[in-house]
Amino acid sequence: HTPQNTRFMRPFLVSHARLSVVLALVSLLLVSCMGNMASDESKVDGKLKPGQYKHTIGPMFEKVLKKSEAKTSDKRETAIFAAGCFWGVELAFQRLPGVVKTRVGYIGGKVDNPTYQQVCTGTTGHAEAVEVVFDPTVVSYAELLDVFWERHDPTTLNRQGNDRGTQYRSGIFTTNEAQAKLAEESRTAYNNNLISAVVTEITPATKFYPAEDYHQAYLQKGGQSADKGNMDKIRCYG
């Protein structure tokens, strides 16, 4: 026996159930669309937006971070990169398997032994840079270039975010002809995949002047991990 009030409620209950199903389907479609939109936000007409990974762990950076140091050698090469404030750039390279040593400093200027204060005036011509000593049997120069491109915006002239001035320019300072060739090829390939033109300079390395001691491993001293393979977000602060 079915009570009369329940019998009258049946059409409403069925309609309400159907409405719930419809709303659930609409919700799933919206989530799916938003997910697709989010995944596409990194691209415009199939090309990447520059600098999208400079505050996080991008796919190329992650790939190199996951490399193994099980087999190493005594071989050493040196690479020099300028990509804005050198604190965060150094920590990114410190974390890479195969990187033996890093130090921050100044390069590409016209004044001998410049100080940080002098470089900050923009009158010495130097760029803030990171010198990277690495084992090429573990990590290649080409892989270092991948990390370099991904960790900054190479399309903004003399600027990274709020940091402005020639000292924050994007640059690759090569130590031999092989590096120069790879750097040129890498810049062309990366430029072809971006919505904006790359302004990174590629030039033979001149004298590298180490920065003051308090700048060395600055973020590591501040408590951020420099462990190999660490994927924590790099926070740059002053």
- Amino acid code (one letter) for 210: P
Q: Could you report the per-residue pLDDT of 45-91, keeping only the tens digit for each?
A: 656 676 666 667 889 999 999 999 989 999 999 999 999 999 999 99
At residue 213's C-alpha, the angle toward residues 212 and 218, to 5°, is 105
Residue 85 annotated as catalytic: yes
Q: What's phi and psi for 75, nearest 5 deg?
A: -70, 140
Look at residue 70 in the predicted model and tell me its pLDDT: 86
Look at residue 48 in the predicted model and tell me its pLDDT: 66
Q: What's phi and psi for 110, nearest 5 deg?
A: -120, 10
- Annotated catalytic residue, options 33, 85, 120, 236: 85
Residue 159, classified by CB atoms within 10 Å of its CB into exposed (0-12), middle (13-18) or buried (19+), is middle
Q: Which tokens hold the place of 40? A: 């596409």
Q: Which residues of the chain have pLDDT under 50?
A: 1-8, 10, 12-14, 21-22, 25-26, 28-40
pTM attached to this predicted model: 0.80
